[in-house]
Amino acid sequence: MPELPEVETVCRGIAPHVIGKAIQELILRAPKLRLPLDPQLCRILPGQTIATVSRRAKYLLLETDQGGLLIHLGMTGVLRLLPAGTTENKHDHVDLIFTDGTCLRLTDPRRFGTFVYSPDKLLNHPLLKNLGPEPLSDSFSGEMLYHLSRGKAQPIKVFIMDQKVVVGVGNIYANEALFRAGIHPVRAAGRIGRQRYQRLVIAIQEVLRAAIDAGGTTISDFADSEGRPGYFRQELLVYGRRSGPCCYCGRAIHSCRIGQRSTFYCSHCQR
């Protein structure tokens, strides 16, 4: 699944190519993705102009002069910038065609993505309004995590992946951040102290910034808006390295499942 760095990469990739462009046509080739695709949008969107492109959590926000589009890539979604009229393939479900002859195409083989429109401010949309803070913002801090975690018996990995606690810390980056912070992924969130949470926040931010700089992580389907893969996978220290040596102590990396997600850790370096 594309995580925050992948979505941020797509956001930065498409922004200069769509901001200021007027929508000429919307083509919908499926009745629904994760949510229904509203056929009325084929009438509503033409004539509107893309004013801004931004990201909130794992959602892309394309605000227009009259409302805005909220796009989620789901597990296998990809956005491509193409010439209008490019022959579609089986899983090309949405084309947003601009008056300059270009097209923003959403391809989603598993149809777990989202493409919805709102005439109101997107940040007030039900899908967004109850989300936690952005992990790279000033509102995300060790003190905040410490207070939210008090009395929590759930594993710390599950806690930091809760989108109501902090957005965008997906499975890959949770593994990597906990390893860098020296925190065992099954340790109860409520049994971690202030200083360790401060280290964890720094680790989360370092991992996410490095992944954004590298263009995301290619695990299966992710590619940026121009079809290039992300390269942060080359820098992963624990994720996917079961039985391989820990880069710090040389002992074998272990794996287990926490919250039905693959988890990788060093039992010596993480406690």
192-233 per-position pLDDT tens digit = 999 999 999 999 999 999 988 887 554 333 344 555 544 455
Give pLDDT, residue 64.
Answer: 96
For 52-56, 175-179, 238-242, which range has the lowest pLDDT when averaged over its residues?
Answer: 238-242
* 34 a catalytic residue: no
* 5 a catalytic residue: no
What's the rounded Cα separation, in Å, for the pair 44 and 191?
Answer: 52
Give pLDDT, residue 1.
Answer: 64
What's the rounded Cα separation, in Å, for the pair 212 and 189?
Answer: 27
Residue 41 CA to its chain's centroid (Å): 25
105 is annotated as contributing to ligand binding? no
Mean pLDDT of 159-174: 95
91 is annotated as contributing to ligand binding? yes
Give pLDDT, residue 230.
Answer: 45
pLDDT tens for each residue of 99-125: 999 999 999 999 999 999 999 989 999
pLDDT tens for each residue of 136-153: 999 999 999 999 999 999
Q: How confident is the model at residue 15 (pLDDT cuts 50, 70, 90)?
A: very high
Question: Which domains, ranges and CATH numbers included, belong to the chain?
Answer: 4-124 (3.20.190.10), 142-265 (1.10.8.50)
* 242 a catalytic residue: no
Give pLDDT, residue 226.
Answer: 53
pTM (two decimals): 0.87
Give pLDDT, residue 184.
Answer: 98
Give pLDDT, residue 213.
Answer: 85
What's the rounded Cα separation, in Å, for the pair 270 and 181?
Answer: 8
CB atoms within 10 A of CB 147: 11
List the catalytic residue out of 3, 6, 8, 176: 3
List the catalytic residue out of 111, 209, 233, 261: 261
What's the rounded Cα separation, in Å, for the pair 36 and 208?
Answer: 32
Measured between alpha carbons, how far is residue 82 from residues 14, 91, 95, 101 in Å?
A: 11, 15, 10, 9
Residue 138 CA to its chain's centroid (Å): 19
Q: Which residues of 199-213 are buried (b: 16+ CB within 10 A; e: fewer)?
A: bbbebbeebbeebbe
Q: How confident is the model at residue 6 (pLDDT cuts 50, 70, 90)?
A: confident
DSSP 185-249: TTSBGGG--HHHHHHHHHHHHHHHHHHHHHT-B-SSS---TTSPPPBGGGG-SSTT-TTSBPTTT
Residue 36: pLDDT over 70: yes
* 2 a catalytic residue: yes
Residue % of the chain over a pLDDT of 70: 93
pLDDT tens for each residue of 244-259: 999 999 999 999 999 9
List the catalytic residue out of 58, 80, 180, 241: 58
The residue that leads in pLDDT, 235 or 64, is 64
